[in-house]
Amino acid sequence: MSIINIEKELNKLILKALKYNEVPIAAIIIKNGKIISKAYNKVNKTNNFMDHAEIISIKKAIKKLKNWRLKECIMYVSLEPCAMCKEIIKKSRIEEVYYFVNQNAEKTEKNPNYKKINSTTDFSTTLKKFFVNRR
Ligand SMILES: [Zn+2]
């Protein structure tokens, strides 16, 4: 699974989120080089503030692996996870998290398991546009 393909998958999910008027954030979990779950933000659809892309993807991965310990799993997420998701990611035992867009830089605590990677897809602009259009 190359980064380019992961970006493409994330972008597809983000377009779905936009279609349903959800905040365009997507997450993918990979194990042994294969996608085991993917999700986009569904807070409005489910009317549940916990339904962030990261958490939905974790729930799907647990179901698929029949194991709540997501060892050897890697998460790719378009935006750096919020504090709630970071806590849940930690509990899930996911070992590495890669994200493409930073949250507010000052609030970001340093965690060696989190790595920012550069993308060819402009996830940041998609997010900004979404919030501008909502006003
Ligand atoms: Zn979150």
Whether 54 is a known active-site residue: answer yes
pLDDT above 90 (res 119): no
Strand, helix or coil for residue 121: coil
pTM score of the predicted model = 0.92
Cα 55 to middle of ligand 1, angstroms: 7
Q: Which residues pair with 75 in a beta bridge?
A: 29, 97
* Cα–Cα dist 133/135, whole Å: 6
User: What are the structure tokens assigned to 119, written together?
Assistant: 């993308």
Strand 96-101 relative to strand 26-31, pairing: unpaired
Catalytic hit among 54, 72, 80, 106: 54
At 22-50, the pLDDT tens digits run 999 999 999 999 999 999 999 999 999 99
At 53-91, the pLDDT tens digits run 999 999 999 999 999 999 999 999 999 999 999 999 999
Please name which of 79, 70, 68 lies closest in space to residue 14, comparing C-alpha atoms: 79
Using an 8 Å Cβ cutoff, are 88 and 39 in contact? no
